[in-house]
Chains A and B, each alone.
Chain A
Amino acid sequence: MHKIKVEQNSVHLKSEEVFLTSFLDSLKLYVIGEVYCAINNFQNQSLEVYLEENSHLTLEFFLEVENSKNKIKINTEANSQLDLHYACLYSKENELIVENNVSKDNNRNILLFRLVEKNGSLTVKAVGKIEKNTKNNAYLEDIKAITTNENHLKIMPDLKVSSNLVLASHNATIGPVDREALFYLESKGLDKKAASTLIKEGFLKGVINEEVFKN
């Protein structure tokens, strides 16, 4: 996986694995072929993705930021697949809007969100638009979050399905840190804070490539 520091508003990726760092307010990503793209430092930014026909994009984010409003807009051509992995640790006052527009056929969209929130607030708005006259599309949105205060985490799925020939589903689970796992680690001698951090980070690793996590 090679690293790219983005200095222009658009990036073209073709069958490659990249680790992007961008400090620009907005970025357009054009994807052809099998692409893995991890994005670092995603803060107060807007990302627009264009997924070409027969392409497969795995898009990963790992964030440890505060006071950030991010927006991701996805446009898919036919027969494309998108795997969006968004892992967020210790978010405070953060907002994420994802808009996924499916306007062609035979697309597979899997949006995996893993969020860890602590003493702050995080709002996720996930909009999935499946347009009329499209067929054989699958849209799966899976949000799992662990949080210290369930009231501080808002998840707002918004599926706008205008076609009958689509498989669309949404799962969301929000819960506290697993007490059994916490007890186990404390019984090995870890203090509560260290144990809790390990569990939360472990939870995120299920979504994010280890290399991205370390970076």
Chain B
Amino acid sequence: MLQIKNLTVKVLDKIILEDFNLEIKDGEIHALMGQNGAGKSTIAKVILRDKNYEVVSGSILLNGQDLLSMTTTEVARCGVFLVGQNPIEIAGVSNAEMLRTTLTDQGENNLNILEFNKKLTSLCEKLEIPTSFIHRDINYNMSGGEKKKNELLHMWMLTPSFLILDEIDSGLDVDALKLVGNSIQEYIETYHPIVLLITHQKALLDRIKPDHVHILNHKKIIQSGDASLAEKVFKEGFSGASIIDRVSLDA
């Protein structure tokens, strides 16, 4: 279970999140929505302990473990996995190299290279990417869609228990979105991870049904509900659904 309590975060003396609260039970899928610049990506970076984000107060517990006292590596080794909006390119470091090093570092000392390669090959087929991706540099010279599939290749290999998908749908065409959405859904059905889905797109939420939807505005969650809340936003927009206006008045 993920428990975020009274979290206040700042970047360069500017408060980005204030008194932010969120609880996700094991196996639940939560969607986080909000206007651009509301701070949705910030929460992803803070959970992963990005040093650019300073935690002023509050706590983040994952299965009772204090993530704020950990390094990025330790958080990842607790099973947290982030797919960002625009995954960076790392020239000279191949997918296979990174995955092999990570799995070995995580204790798989007797990593069977044959099995490792076989699994990667099978995943490439599943994700409809050439097997040459195995030895390609991480996200290097890949299209937006290829980068997202490449990140899913990492996900399937590292089998995280907490997925943070930060606008994974951005830059995807209809076919790629279908494949990415289906692959994540299959992963959820296989491993039952906690999922925090940050999105603007109805198409993705049609494929990955959230148990809870939260609207982020004014540095905190201002409204939560079931999947129908997302439907309302898609239909009427944030202000059209009177969500933002109402909260502004309340404030």
Contact = CB atoms under 8 A, between A and B. Distances in A.
Interface residues of A, number: 22
Contacts of A204: 92
Interface string A107-139: 000000000000000000000000000000000
A180 B73 CA distance: 14
5 A-B pairs with the lowest CB-CB distances in the bound complex, closest first: A202-B92, A186-B72, A189-B76, A205-B92, A202-B93
A206 B158 contact: no
Given A189-B77, A189-B158, A198 B98 contact: yes
Nearest to B154: A188
Contacts of A181: 88, 90
A206 B102 contact: no
A192 interface: yes
Nearest to A181: B90
Contacts of A203: 91-92
A184 interface: yes
B108 to A, nearest CB: 11
A63 B158 CA distance: 33
7 contacts: A183-B51, A184-B88, A187-B72, A188-B98, A198-B101, A201-B92, A202-B137
A4 interface: no
A144 to B, nearest CB: 12
A180 B89 CA distance: 10
Contacts of B81: 187-188
A189 B106 contact: yes
B87 A184 contact: yes
B48 interface: yes
Contacts of A191: 73, 105
Interface residues of B, number: 28
B102 A188 contact: yes
Interface string B55-86: 00000000000000001110111001110000
Contact of B158 (A186, A188, A194): A188
Nearest to B94: A202
A180 B72 CA distance: 12
Contacts of A180: 88
Contacts of B88: 180-181, 184
B231 interface: no
A202 B91 contact: yes
A183 B50 contact: yes
A17 B105 CA distance: 37
A187 B44 CA distance: 11
Best-buried of B75, B87, B105 by chain A (most CB within 10 Å): B105
